[in-house]
Structures are given as C-alpha cells and as structure tokens.
A and B are shown apart, each in its own frame.
Chain A
Amino acid sequence: MKRWIVLLMMIALTGTAYADGGRVRLQQASGDFVITLFTSPEPLTTGEADFSVLVQDRSTQQVVLDALVDLELRSPSGEAETSFLTHGGASNKILQGATVRLPRTGTWRATVMVHRGAEKAACSTSFDVAASHSRRTLVLIFLILPLLVIALFLVHQAQRFRQASPLRQDR
C-alpha cells in the first residue's frame, strides 16, 4: 500500500514541460536573413499564444541574435497590433518571442519585420484561429477535482467507520 502512495506522489511530480518554439508557421529567406516563425499552441485558438522567431544569416545559416524583430498581427476585422519580440520572451534563447492575445476566431495575418542596422527584411503569412477549448477544459478539470476529492473522502470515512465498527461491537 505504501508504495502506492509514493507512486501517486511521483505521478504528481511529472509536471509541465513542452518543446519551446512550437509549430513552424513560416520559413522564408528575405533580405540578408532567413526568418522562421514558430507558434504555439497547435492549433492556434483564441486567447494567449506564443509567437517566436528565429533569425538566421542567409549566407552562413548562423543564428543572428542581435536583430530587432517586430511582429504585426492583423485580425480578421483588419485591426493591427504590433509586438516587439525579445530573447527574454522565449525560453529558448536563440529565439525572440512574445506572448500575445488572439481575441477573435478567423484568419489572421502575421508580418515579421526584422532589421539590423541598415539590413531590413519582412515576410508575412496567414493562419487560422479556432475557438478556444483550453480554458473550458481547465475549468472542467477544476470542477471535477473537488468531486474526486469528495469521493475519495467518502471512501476514507467509510473505511474508517468499517474499521471502528468491530471495536464498538466488542465493547
């Protein structure tokens, strides 16, 4: 029995971890650079999303770390918002990233603008944003959690009651 408790504890230990970067959404050579745009989660849904960009030198394929990267996101209704991507915004430090909100479903347009000194490059892509289920799933999990604990507690109480019963009869 005790080993079970430990096994359960160990299950609880295996927590969050996922590959940084996400899906390759765009890879294009533009100007002096090769620009790769990653997005996560997959598929993209309304709510928060990670956008990361890898900038490489077009001729040597070396990672370029000192370029300035802006990301313009244009919503299906045409509103545009620009974010400045940084190495601090990505856990993989060879990428430059940011977490942005995608409030609407539909087809969005992303434009990545890279510049380093006089060198400039830009490339665009479109992507679809679906309705989010992650928030609903999260809520569902946390609604089920108390029910599970209550069920476990009832088993616990019944077990205690059963253990105590023979003693009562003895008395």
Chain B
Amino acid sequence: MSSAVQAALASWAFPPWISVSLLLTALIYWRGWRKLQFTRPASFPVWRLACFWTGLLTLWLAVASPLDSLGGMLLFLHMTQHLVLMSVAPPLILLGAPVVPLLRGLPRSFVREALGPFFSMGVLHKLGSFLTRPAVGWLAMNLTYIGWHLTPAYELALHSPAWHEVEHAFFFFSCILFWWPIILPWPSVARGSRWLILPYLVTADLVNTGLSAFFCFAGRTLYPTYSEVPRLFGLTALQDQIAAGALMWVIGSTIFLVPAGWITLQLLSPKLTSRQEAAVPRRVPRPVDSRPFDLLRVPLIGWLLRARYGRMGLQAITLAIAIVAILHGLFGHPMGSMNLAGIVPWTYARALGVIALLAAGNLFCMACPFTLPRELGHRMGLATRTWPVWLRNKWLSAFLLVFLFWMFEAFTFWDQPARTAWIVIAYFVAAFVTDTFFRGASFCKYVCPIGQFNFVSSLLSPLEVKSASPSVCSSCKTHDCIAGNERQRGCELQLFIPQKTGNMDCTLCMDCVKACPHDNIVIAAGPPARDLLIDPVRSSIGRLSSRVDIATVALVVVSAAFATSAVMVEPVSAWLQHIGGLMPGYSALATSFVASFLLPATLLLITVAAAYAVWKFSQSPQPARVLFCRLSLALLPLGLGMWAAHLLFHLLSGWSTLVPGVQQAAIDLGIFALGRPQWGAAMSSPLTANGMLLLQLLILDGGLLLSLYVGWRVVRGMIGGIVRPACSMLPWAAVVASLYAVGIWILLQPMQMRNMVHG
C-alpha cells in the first residue's frame, strides 16, 4: 500500500458533538432494550439491538471516517458517504424499532413529567401521522435526493461547511421518513395494502437509476469543484464522476430491490412471518435490577468509598500534591503559568471541582487535603470547646469567601506562585488550629470559605447521601450515623441521616456510611437542582427558606462568578487599570476591598427588591423572606453555569500545561530524570475559539433555563395556577435575564490569558 493511500486511510476526525450524542443515544437505547427484554423478549431480540447500534455506528463512520475527509476531493467517496447516510444508517436504525426502547431508556419521571403532556397534543399527533405517510416519505426522499444533486446546491454544500451539515441532515431525516413505511418500526402499523410498498420501492429505484445514469453518461463533469481540486490516485474528474454514478446505480438499486424482493416473498407466503415468530426462542430473561442507582454498589468505587481508609487515601494523594505545589511555589519558577502552585489550583483544581459539583457531587471536600492534618489536632485531646453559638451560621464564612475572592484579584495569586503557596499554608494552619481547639468539624461547617462555596453549589449536584429505607432508620435506636460507635465516628457536621435532605453541609466524608450498623445508607442519584425545588426542615440546618445567611453565601457565589470573569476581559480590565492609576497604591487596594463587598451587596439588594416585588404581585401567604431566600438560591444554576463556562476556558486553554509543569517542578527541585519541559506544546487547546464559545454559551443557556425553572417552581408552589405565577415572577426573571446578558457580554470579550503560556 502506498504511503499516500495509508495517509488517506488515516484521515479520521472526531466530531465531539455528534460522537457524544450517538454514544448517549446508544446507551439510552440499550437501557430501554434491557427493560424490554423482561417484558417483551420476543419483540426485541438481540438482532434489533445489533441493528440499532450498527446504524448509529455507520452514521458516525459517515461523518468521522476518511469518507468525510476525502469527499471534498473525490466524488465517488462523497457519494459513498451520502449512500451511508441515506440508505444504510436510516433502515438499520429503524430496524431497531427505536421508539419504545428510547422512551423506556430515558428516566421514567422525565418521560412522564416532561414529555407526557406533549404526547396528548392533537396537533403533534396529526403532524406525526402526516409525515409518516408513504406519499410524504417518498416525496421527501426523492426531492431531497434530486434537489441536493443539482449543481448549484451541491457546490454550495462543497464550499460551505454549514450547508454541508444541512445537506446531511436533509439526507438522513428524509430517509428516515422514506424507510418508515417500509420497515414499520414497532408499534407502527401499515396504512393500506403492503403491496403498495413494491411500487414505492421500484419507483424510488427508477429515480436513482435516472440520476446515476446521468452521472455516468453526461460526458462532462457536473460539479466544477472536482475539476479544480488536485486529482488523486490517478483518477480524472470524469472517471471519478462515472465511478460515483456506477456506485449509486449498483449499490443504490440493490438497497431498494432487496427489500422489495423480501416484502414480495412475505406477501406471497404469509406463513413465513408466523414461522419466523414461532422460531423465536421463548427463553425466560433475567430480571433487570430495578433497585435505584447507588454509587456504593458500583464495583471498585463502592469498595473504595466504604473502605476504612478510603477517604484518607484520597486525602493523602491531594495532600502530597499540595505539598509539592507549596514547595514549587516557594522555591520554583517565579512565573505562575510555569509553576505547579499556579497550574494546579488555578487551572485544574477550580475547574475540576466545579465540574465534579455539577456532574456528581462535592468531591473536592471528599478529597480535601486541609482536613487531614487536623486529625492530628483532634488526637491531641484539646478539642474540648464547642463552637460559639453566635458564630454557628454562615456569616463568617460568607465574609471569608468575599475576602478570598478579593485577595485572589488584589494580590494576583494566579501570577504569584509564592503567594499561592503561602495562602495554602495559611489554610492548613487555620484548619489545624480551629479543629484542634473546637469539637467536630467546626472549620468545615462554619469557617472554610471553599467549603461554603462547595456546600451551596452541591445543592445542584445529582448525587446525595441518604437513607435507603426510612423504616430501618425509624427502628434504629443507636443513631450511629450521627453518634458514632467504638470503631467509627459519626457525622461531625451534625447531619442526622433520617432528617438529612439534600447536600448542604455534606462533605461526602462517608463517616455515616461506615458507622451505620444496618448498611442503610446509599449515595443516590437524582435530577440536578432538586434540592432547590423543595423546602423541608433539614437536619442541623432547618429550612433553607429561613436561612438568610445561606442565601447570602449563594449570592456571593453568583456575584463572584460574574465578577471574576469580568475582571479578566479587556474593557473591564482596562477600566480597572485606569481607575487604579488615579489612586495611590494603598488607597487603590482599600477601594478594591470595599468594592469586593459592594458587589455581592448590590446583588443582594437587587434580589431583595425583586423578591419583594414578586411577593407583592403574587400576594403569597408566605413571608417575603421565604421568597428572598429561595429565589436567591434559585440564582445558583446561572451562577454555577457562569463559573463552569469561565473555568472550563482556563482548563481547556491550559489543559496540557500539567506535564511540562511537573517537569519544571522536578527540575526546580533538583530532579532531572523527567526531562526538560516542552512549553511550546502546552499552547494547544482541544477546542477552537468558536467551539469554546459554543460550549460556554451552551452551559450558560443551561444555567439560565434551570434558574428560571427553579424560580418558576418556587413561585408556582406558593400560589398555584399558570398566569399569575408567570406574571408575578417577572421582576425576578428580569434579574436573571440581566445577569445572563452580562454573562454573554463577558464571554464575547477578548479574555486575558492569565496563567497561560503564550507562544
């Protein structure tokens, strides 16, 4: 094989969006198919799963394989790609009878609550019924087929990636409609006589034959682009076109005529169908495990979480990383972007922590290195005091959180590894001192600003530690989950499992899991942000609607999301520099300190005003404070969306700095075995600028919609109906929309590449 052919065969792409969508669809189908194996094994044999998965695979191959990469230079490869999109993937997918498996594969509550109301809409029924008529399918496919092969349309798709995508969508979708009446995916039924399918297929083949013949016998190239591009593999443009026509003719006709033959056979011998059905083995399938998801039952992860020293092992790893970062920060390269004290906390830990909160739970607190040395403090026996009553709230930590955000900006931590190292050391000392003299986990619950960030953010997390069976808890007399026992301490944050709802104040330390003698604690999964939709009395917290301090922490988190991103963009950064230049050093520092507190205070005042307006309009019987607290928490999805969009930018822009960072640290600390760092290679990002913006906008859109949904549920839960809550929540929705607009504006600005290696 020549090297050019080898290079051509290596021309694979990895389109991220379609790859993830296809994988997700395959998993949903598989989940539904497994359930149907229990209830309808005869209707869903293994071959249906194989067909559906193969259909998805061929779809992926059409857009990711060399067919796509080389299609712009060779027409016959481009036609092969279209053939796959039109005649291979759609029938295979429909042979999988995807309707019911996909619906059964989705979470039941989602299908019932979100999709259910649409199922009964007459207009959609009629539209669906119209589109799956044979005449509509036939016309859709053939008009699409002919229309896109006209020279202007084909040239447009060749020159415009966007139109090329539209063309592919037309091919695939119209062919789904075309193949639907032929395959009749269960539970669809035939309309009219099945004999009509024969002329349906044969006439479609005639159209295909006509177009293919035109390609073969035109005697000139139909698409000028193929005359302009360099010719590969010795094929002239005309030969390429003839090959494409021949391919369409032979393969296309086969694909139409084989089903026609098969259907004729079925119609002529009706016994064939019944014989086939009888041949399906009647095996008794294994029941599907219907217990809800429990992370503790997942192999390896469950074992690690339950293991006596499992969490401590995780903490030991993060402690080791923290020590290396501190050493490198103090003694290593002075540039933050080339020092582990700059790279680990500001590029990696922040972003991964937020992603973990949104995708799983409070994993940062679970692996927190700061609480490991405090175990030593506990063992000294000095922790005899209880935390002062007047400090048993979140006000101190809210203040410290703002203070931390201010320090980060004012002392340019991202660019000063030594300062980062000192703040990490200070954190260790604070945790150690607090928990040496005070009982329980006072530092985590009342002091730690990072902890508070994680606690309020984890109200959005899908995972939650809870009891498996409330009846087991009600019969429990020892309450080991909170009181502990001789081999395992109970929850140091005073969360009593039978009354614990949601993730607030939970560090996922697993103490309760290990202490429970009844093995009645699970880590369950649920819809994100469900914590914000309900307002029960929570263990050690009370109702969130009565906790103004927690609402304030939420507003600090939200305001900081926008503020920390804004100070990095060109216009804001230039304006701040201008303002700073007008003042002497200390005065500028003091002004920025005051401004750091004014910003969340402003958002707090705006939210108070909006909540009061909502309260007035809705005439809710609940106090206005309840609305303020719950609507403040409802801003969290948008705030976390902004954090995720911003921190993902840092992570993806600097994702490859870790390896050279480690090499640099090794050299700076006197170890030369890891080689010299290649900082030039650390500049690449896995996404293009537009791809990055698309991802950021998608995340921010998700945050906006989730915030509005939570706000809607809160207001509607108080006054009922549709129109009144919708009108009443408008003042608060305006606040959300304004924050969203600010977020969009920030994302569209040129961003300072802090902590990044420049080329």
Chain A interface residues toward B at CB < 8 A: 1-7, 9-24, 27, 34, 36, 40-42, 47-48, 54, 56, 61-63, 65, 87, 90-94, 99, 101, 134-135, 138-139, 142-143, 145-146, 149-150, 153-161, 163
Contact = CB atoms under 8 A, between A and B. Distances in A.
Nearest to A161: B722
A146 B117 contact: no
Contact of B62 (A17, A159, A163): A17
Contact of B13 (A20, A47, A135): A20
B69 interface: yes
B115 interface: yes
A105 B132 CA distance: 48
B165 A2 contact: no
Contacts of B172: 10, 13-14
A54 B164 CA distance: 22
A90 B13 CA distance: 9
Given A19-B69, A19-B164, 6 more contacts: A11-B173, A18-B162, A61-B231, A153-B709, A157-B117, A159-B121
Given A4-B124, A48-B690, A11 B722 contact: no
Given A14-B168, A63-B232, A94-B232, A135 B693 contact: yes
B168 to A, nearest CB: 6
Given A47-B689, A134-B690, A160-B117, A2 B99 contact: yes
> Nearest 7 CB-CB pairs, A to B?
A19-B72, A15-B18, A18-B161, A17-B63, A159-B117, A63-B4, A142-B697
Given A20-B68, A159-B120, A5 B102 contact: yes
A143 B316 CA distance: 45
Contacts of A134: 690
Interface in B687-732: 688-690, 693-694, 697-698, 700-701, 704-705, 708-709, 721-722, 726
A21 B704 CA distance: 38
B122 to A, nearest CB: 10
B323 interface: no
Given A1-B118, A150-B708, A10 B4 contact: no
B63 A15 contact: yes
A93 B230 contact: no
A90 B72 CA distance: 13
B31 to A, nearest CB: 14
B129 to A, nearest CB: 9
Nearest to B72: A19
B611 interface: no
B228 interface: yes
27 contacts: A1-B121, A2-B119, A3-B132, A3-B180, A7-B176, A15-B15, A15-B165, A16-B18, A17-B63, A17-B164, A18-B161, A19-B68, A19-B158, A20-B11, A20-B69, A41-B160, A41-B161, A61-B234, A90-B11, A91-B11, A93-B11, A94-B8, A142-B698, A143-B744, A146-B701, A146-B740, A150-B705
B159 interface: yes
A156 B121 CA distance: 10
Given A24-B229, A91-B69, A138 B693 contact: yes
Contacts of B161: 16, 18-19, 40-41
B98 interface: yes
B605 interface: no
B382 interface: no
A47 B7 contact: no
Interface in B102-129: 102-103, 114-115, 117-121, 124-125, 127-128
B159 A42 contact: yes
A92 B131 CA distance: 38
B748 interface: yes
A92 B165 contact: no
A93 B164 contact: no
A92 B8 contact: yes
B70 A65 contact: no
A54 B230 CA distance: 8
A41 B173 CA distance: 25
B587 interface: no
B62 A146 contact: no
B347 to A, nearest CB: 22
A159 to B, nearest CB: 4
B423 to A, nearest CB: 36
A99 B688 contact: yes
A59 to B, nearest CB: 14
Given A1-B128, A2-B103, A10-B93, A36 B173 contact: no
Contacts of B127: 4
A139 B741 CA distance: 11
Interface string B175-201: 011001000010010000000000000
Given A47-B689, A48-B690, A93-B8, A16 B229 contact: no
A13 B18 contact: yes
Given A63-B7, A94-B8, A14 B99 contact: no
Contact of A142 (B78, B120, B701): B701
B188 A3 contact: yes
Interface string B3-25: 11001101111010110011001
A62 B63 CA distance: 27
Contacts of A145: 701
A3 B128 contact: yes
B424 interface: no
Contacts of A94: 4, 7-8, 11, 70, 232
Contacts of B180: 3
A1 B122 CA distance: 9
Task: Determine which residue in B12, B176, B230 has the highest number of CB atoms from chain A within 10 A of its CB, and name it.
Answer: B230
B59 interface: yes
A138 B168 CA distance: 20
B100 interface: yes
B709 to A, nearest CB: 7
Contact of A47 (B8, B73, B173, B690): B690
B41 interface: no
B698 A48 contact: no
A49 to B, nearest CB: 10
Nearest to A20: B69
Given A14-B169, A16-B165, A20-B69, A163 B117 contact: yes
Contacts of B99: 2-3, 5-6
Given A13-B59, A158-B722, A18 B98 contact: no
B22 to A, nearest CB: 6
B71 interface: yes
Contact of A20 (B56, B70, B176, B697): B70
A122 B11 CA distance: 26
A17 B165 contact: yes
